[in-house]
Amino acid sequence: MSNPRHVRNRLNGLTSKDWLKFQKSWFIHNPPPRQAGVLRHPAKFPESLASEFIQFFTHAEDWVLDPMVGTGSAVVAALHAGRRAVGVELNPSYAAIARQRLAELQTELGDSAPEGHLIEGDAAHLEDFALPVFDYVLTSPPYWDMLHARGADTQRRRRAADLDVVYSDDPADLGNLHNYDVFLDRLASIYSGLSRWLRPGAYLTVIVKNIKKGGRIYPLAWDLARLVGGFYTLKDEKIWCQDNIRLAPYGFGNAWVSNTFHHYCLQFRYEP
């Protein structure tokens, strides 16, 4: 019997075993405890999760973008993986934290540090900045205005610790838009505008979840899949599950209200 035909891996540097493992449609990832320097951000993205996606969808030296980078998780993960990266952040205090983290990492890595940049600015106006052509986008948007919900235990604990409970009071902050349809349109417009800086064939991963508000579900993940799928090709979804969060008896004895411990990782591809 002849040997199987050798297939060149054009997407990443993973082994066939690691490639196959990543193709599972769901996974459990429980982020490690957050470091003190990034606790101020109310919804930080875990670098450990970002690293897995970046290593699958890019090669070494590729350019990675997160247009809503927060305290810099995606950029830090990209540089650790040997990728070049740009992060854009609207909130000046989060941008300062991300810039400091980036500088510390580049100092730690020394001459081997990939190129990385942190831009304080609005993702809706990337034309204001000199940007490279990107090979991959990894991002997680605000989950509408849910951080304004004052009844959550997490919010009360953060207020008691003098930590941020919302991203900002900036009117340009999408997390401050209270009309769901306006929020969706603005977010989809930002994502569609990224195509100006994407190479053909580049992937975009948007990590998001459906949300509960006022006794109903708003299918944010599914609505984004539909809208953004009008600009890019929706290729797949992975479901990120967390199993280390304490259950709460929502609606007990009265109504069905689930504990939602999963996110949708939506994979799009730019196919002009």
Topology at the third CATH level for domain 35-269: Rossmann fold (3.40.50)
Average pLDDT, the chain: 87
Tell me the helix, strand and coil percentages in the chain, rounded to 5: 35, 20, 45
Whole-number Å distance between alpha carbons of 270 and 110: 34
The residues that bridge with 63 in the sheet, in sequence order, are 84
In tens, the pLDDT along 208-219 reads 999 988 889 999
Going by the DSSP 8-state scheme, the letter that residue 89 receives in this structure is E
For residue 36, the model assigns a pLDDT of 52
pLDDT score for 8: 80
Residue 145: pLDDT band (50, 70, 90) is: confident
Where are the strands (E) in the chain, listed by range? 26-28, 63-66, 84-89, 116-120, 134-139, 198-208, 211-213, 216-218, 233-241, 262-269
- Per-residue confidence at 9, pLDDT binned at 50, 70, 90? confident
- At 64, is the secondary structure helix, strand, or coil? strand
Nearest Cα to Cα of residue 137 among 95, 184, 75? 75
The token pair at 236 is 């797949």
Please tell me the pTM assigned to this model: 0.89
What residue segments make up the domains of the chain, in order of their start? 35-269
pLDDT at residue 158, rounded to an integer = 45
Residue 245 confidence (pLDDT): 86
Dihedral sign computed on CA atoms, order 192, 194, 197, 198: negative
Joined together, the tokens standing for residue 167 give 């991203």
Distance CA 23, CA 130 (A): 35
